[in-house]
Amino acid sequence: MHKTQWFCILCIGMLSSGFSQTKKDSVTVEKLDEVVITDSRFNLKRENSGKVITKITSKDLEKLKGQSVAEIIGRTAGVEVNGVRSNAGQNLSYFVRGGRNRQVLVMIDGIQVTDASQIANDYDLRLLNADQVESIEILKGASSTLYGTGAATAVINITLKKSESDPVSLSVQSSLGTNQSESESDYNIEDFRNSVALNGTLGKFQYLASFGHQFTDGLSAIAEGTESDAFNSYNGNLKLGYSFSDSFKLDTYGSFDKFKAAFDDSFNFADADNLSVSNQYRIGISPKFKYNNGSFTVNAAFSTIDREIHSDFPSQFNADNIVIDAFNRYTFNEKFYTVLGVNHQDNTMESFSIPFGEDDFSQDIDPETANFKITDPYVNLVYVSDMGLNINAGARLNNHSEYGSHLVYSFNPSYKFDTGFGYVKGLASYSTAFITPSLYQLFEPNFGNPELQPEENATLEIGAEVSITDKALLSLVYFSRNEQQFIDFVDTGGFVFQYQNIDTEFTASGLEFVGRFQFLNTLSLSTNFTYTKVEEELNLRIPELKANARLDYQLCEDTLLSLSYQYNDERNDAYFDSTTFESRDVTLESYSLLDLYFSQKFMDSKLTVFATVSNILNAEYQELFGFATRGRNVSLGFNLKL
C-alpha cells in the first residue's frame, strides 16, 4: 500500500474546509463547541483549554455500536491499540506517541484503574463493556501533575452512563454477527452481544443497574490455527446516588467484570487448549460538598483482580488496589481556578506457579513483600484572561514507599484570537511524568529488582487550533517526548535476566492533525492523521503513518449512514524462533480498512436498528505477526429505550 494514501485524507479535509465556508446558508444540527475537563478538572470551553483533547461523546458512541472500547479509542489521533482487529481475546497493547502500556493511565469516572498484578501495571480494556460508557476523553502528553504515575503519554478518562431524569428508564441492546478471517466466507453467526440497563431518578435518589454479555467464537488466535478460540465476558454495574441537599451529594457504586479468553501456543504458533480467566470487582464511594465558589470531592475505590492462566505453564495472579483522591476545587473569579488535592494508592499482589516436576501451586510473589503505597499532594492553577491568554500550570510531589519522593510539574500556556469566523488558538506545553515500577518488576523472585527507580518522561508540545463556527474544527500539534531511566528486561550474562534502569535516553516525536467538518445539516466528516518517529529501540508495532476518516450522512431525521476508513503504515514486529531460540525481526505490511455503519430509528426514536459491515473489501493483513486477523464481517442489532 502506497504511503501517500494519507495525503488523500488531508486533501479531503482541506477541500471540505473550503466547501463548508461556501455553504453559508446551511444551519448545523450539532455545534462543534465543546466543554472539556480532563486537562484541568474544571468544565472549560475547548477554546480556553491549552491542550488538544479528543472527546468521544455519547452521540459519537451511537455511531460506533458493536465496537469495543479499545477499537473506539484506537481510531483517535496519536493512538495505536494493537490487538483490536485480531481474535476477540487477544491481549491489547497501547502505543500512544511511541510509548507502551505502562505509560498510559486509564480512569473510570475520575478514578485511576490499574492492575497491580500485570508486569506493566496497566488496565485491561477488555474488561469494559462499551454499552455502559457515556463518553471518553483522551488527553495526550505527560499528565502526572494531575493524575500521578503512568500518565506519561496519555490519560484515557472513561465516564460510565448516569441515571436518567425519568423515574424509570429501560434500555436493551442486542446484536449478532459473524467473526471470520479473510480466507473464510461462510458468514456463520459467531458473535453475540447483549446488554440491559434499568435506571432513573426518584426525588433525591438516583439509581442505575446494568448488565452486559459478549460471546465471540469462530476465529483461531493464531493465523494458521484450525481450532477456534472463544471469548466470553460478563459485566455488571450498579450506581446509587442521593442528594441530601443542594450542597451535598453522595454517590456509591459497585461493579464486576469477567472474561474467559481461549488462546494458542504463541511460541510455536500452534493450536493449544489454553485459557486465560480474569475477574475484577470494584466498589467505590464519592461524596461531594459544594460551597460558595468551590467544591470538595473525595473519590475512593477498592478493586481486586484475579487472573488465572491454564496452559503448559499454569499461573495465578491476585492484586488489590485502593485509591483515595481528595481534592478541593475553588474558583476565585471567572478568570482564576485552582485545584488542591491529595491522592493515595495502596497496591498489593501475589502470584503462584507450579514448579517443574510438581503438581501443586507454589507461591512466587508474597503479598507481605509485594506491596507499596503512594501518597501525592498536588496543586493545579488555571488562568483564563479576557485578552485571550490562558495558562494551566501545576506540580505534584510523589511519595513512594519503595523509592522515595519525586517532583513533577507542568506549564501549559495558550493564546486565543477571536476572528470573524470563529477563533484561532496557539498552544504550547512542557510537562514531566513518571512511571512507577510495577510490583512484578520490583519483587518477582527471579527477575525483580527492588532498586529500580521510576521512569521519567518529559513532553514538549507546540500546536494550533482553528475553529470555524458551526462549520469546522482543525488542529495540528507537534510533540517531542524524552524518556529517561527506561526499565528494560536485561540479560546480565549466562541467560540470567533482570529488570534494570538503563542509562540511554530515548526520544519520540511526531505530528498529529485532527479535522472535523460540518458540510450541511446532513453531512459531516471527521479525520485525523498521525506521524510518529521513534528510535529503533522503541520501534515495535508502531506505524510511522496512520490515518482515520469517518463520513456521516443523515439520510433523513431517523436514518444514518456512516463510512469509516483507516490506514496503518508498515510496522516492525519481533517473534521468538522456537527452532533457533532467538528473537527475529519482521516487517508487517501496511493495510487499509473500510467499514460501514447504518442505523434506522422507529417509534419516535425509542427503537434503533443498526447494521455494520467491517473490512468491506476483505483486506488481507497482519496486525500482529503470526496471529489471526478478522476479514469481512457483518452484524445486525437493535437498541430499545423505554
Q: How far apart are CA 175 and CA 12, in angstroms?
A: 33
Side-chain-side CA neighbours of 314 within 13 Å: the count stands at 14
From the centroid of its chain, how far is CA 373? 25
**pLDDT top residue among 503 and 25:** 503
Mean pLDDT of 56-69: 87
What's residue 15's pLDDT? 32
The tens digit of pLDDT for each residue in 322-354 reads 999 999 999 988 889 999 999 999 999 999 999
Alpha-carbon span 137 to 235, nearest angstrom: 22
Question: DSSP character for 100?
Answer: -
Alpha-carbon distance of 211 to 256, in angstroms, equals 10
DSSP letter for each residue of 226-260: SS---EEEEEEEEEEEEESSSSEEEEEEEEEEEEE
Total number of domains in the chain: 1
Nearest to 42 by CA among 242, 336, 473: 336
% of the chain surpassing 90 pLDDT: 67
Residue 167: is its pLDDT beyond 50?
yes
pLDDT digits (tens, 9 = 90+) for 209-268: 999 999 999 999 999 999 999 999 999 999 999 999 999 999 999 999 999 999 999 888
pLDDT in tens, 442-497: 998 889 898 888 999 999 999 999 999 889 999 999 999 999 999 988 888 777 88
Mean pLDDT of 300-323: 94
- Percent of the chain exceeding pLDDT 70 equals 95
> pLDDT class for 603, splitting at 50, 70, 90?
very high
Q: How far apart are CA 91 and CA 274, in angstroms?
A: 14
Parent domain of 189: 5-641
pLDDT at 424: 95
Residue pLDDT, tens place only, 16-35: 333 333 333 332 333 445 78
Candidates 419, 511, 507, 515; CA nearest to 475 is: 515
- pLDDT for residue 5: 43
Instruction: Out of 28-37, 106-115, 506-515, pick the least confident.
Output: 28-37
pLDDT of residue 1: 43
CATH of the domain at 312: 2.40.170.20
87, 183, 346, 634 from 180: Cα distances, Å: 9, 8, 43, 10
Dump pLDDT digits (tens) for 73-84: 999 998 999 999
Residue 594 has pLDDT above 90, yes or no: yes
| Over residues 382-402, mean pLDDT | 92
The band of 59, judged by pLDDT with boundaries at 50, 70 and 90, is confident
Q: Residue 549 has what pLDDT? A: 96
Q: What is the pLDDT of residue 23?
A: 36
Task: Output the pLDDT for position 18.
Answer: 37
Closest Cα partner for 292 from 333, 324, 258? 333
HSE toward the beta carbon, residue 50, CA cutoff 13 A: 28
pLDDT at 33: 58
- CA dist 628 and 83 (Å) reads 10
Q: Which three cell numbers stand for residue 124?
A: 485491561
Give me 94's grid cell: 497501547
CB atoms within 10 A of CB 36: 21
pLDDT at 29: 33
Q: What is the pLDDT of residues 605-631, one digit of tens each?
A: 899 999 999 999 999 999 999 999 999
pLDDT (0 to 100) of residue 87: 92
Structure confidence at residue 10 as a pLDDT band (50, 70, 90): very low
Tens-place pLDDT, residues 425-439? 999 999 999 898 999
Mean pLDDT of 132-152: 91
Map grid coordinates 518477582 to a residue. Answer: 444
Task: For residue 341, give the C-alpha cell.
Answer: 488535592
Average pLDDT over residues 594-604: 94
Give pLDDT, residue 315. 94
